[in-house]
């Protein structure tokens, strides 16, 4: 009997994406552009956090934003109205993540000439986006207090891929059974070098520390 040929499609897909991600990063570095890939569950406060953050940074950087969703343009409209930043909407056609090729298409469509700080708001979930390298300079994961302190245990890859974790909605800590020390311990077990920045996007608490992180990492990226 003829031997059955087996093709590992997932392995091939990831290899192709990693190669494209490397090209995206090289292009960003050659242009002196710093791209932050923002990932989280739906409703964690990605857009509100970005709005606060951009308004703190827009006097120092020329900023562009790519908003990714399965459908709709609500987040892009909010960003443009509330920050004045240049922004475009990316529709994934039902896909639950962005890959490097989609990011490249977004960057080309955004027309990034003259921009030096870029944000990619990925599709909202804690699974698929972590599997695909977008080519971003750094990965930011937002977790909100109502989601619970055990998420690094349940979604380890997402937190392993994070360069920084933003703990949002700390203003409601008194009303939820969220143990910050436990959360930091769970995260450290998965990603010991990852920084945690507690914020409230609603009140603005802690967002200045996140802005400082962006400034520091953007500077290091350009000097590397």
3-state DSSP of 16-76 = HHHHHHHHHHHHHHHHCCEEEEEEECCCCCHHHHHHHHHHHHCCCCCEEEEEEECCCCHHH
The answer to whether residue 181 is domain-embedded is yes
Reply yes or no on whether the pLDDT at 7 is more than 70: no
pTM tops 0.85: yes
Q: What total number of domains does the chain contain?
A: 1
Q: What is the pLDDT of residues 156-194, one digit of tens each?
A: 999 999 999 999 999 999 999 999 999 999 999 999 999
Span of 32-36, 46-50, 124-128, 209-213 with lowest mean pLDDT: 124-128
Reply yes or no on whether the pLDDT at 6 is more than 70: no
Q: What is the pLDDT of residue 29?
A: 96
The answer to whether residue 5 is domain-embedded is no
**Domain containing residue 136: CATH number:** 3.40.50.300
Expressed as residue numbers, the domain containing 95 is 12-223
The answer to whether residue 1 is domain-embedded is no
Reply yes or no on whether the pLDDT at 41 is more than 70: yes
The answer to whether residue 24 is domain-embedded is yes
pLDDT band at 137 (very low <50, low <70, confident <90, very high): very high
DSSP helix/strand/coil, 184: helix
């Amino acid at each position: 009997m003829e031997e059955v040929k087996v093709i590992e499609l997932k392995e091939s897909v990831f290899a192709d994406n990693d190669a494209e991600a490397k090209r995206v990063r090289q292009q960003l570095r050659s242009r002196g552009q710093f791209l932050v890939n923002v990932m989280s569950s739906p409703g964690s406060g990605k857009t509100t956090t970005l709005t606060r953050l951009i308004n703190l940074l827009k006097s120092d950087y020329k900023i562009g934003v790519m908003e990714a969703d399965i459908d709709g343009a609500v987040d892009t409209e909010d960003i443009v109205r509330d920050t004045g930043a240049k922004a475009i909407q990316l529709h994934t056609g039902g896909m639950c993540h962005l890959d490097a090729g989609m990011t490249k298409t977004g960057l080309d469509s955004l027309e990034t000439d003259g921009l030096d700080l870029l944000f990619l708001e990925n599709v909202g979930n804690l699974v698929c986006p972590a599997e695909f390298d977008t080519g971003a300079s750094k990965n930011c994961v937002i977790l909100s207090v109502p989601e619970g302190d055990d998420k690094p245990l349940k979604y380890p890859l997402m937190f392993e891929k994070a360069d920084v974790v933003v703990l949002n909605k700390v203003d409601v800590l008194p009303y939820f059974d969220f143990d910050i020390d436990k959360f930091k311990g769970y995260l450290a077990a998965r990603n010991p070098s990852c920084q945690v920045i507690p914020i409230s996007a609603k009140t603005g608490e802690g967002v200045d520390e996140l802005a400082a992180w962006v400034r520091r990492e953007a500077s290091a990226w350009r000097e590397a």
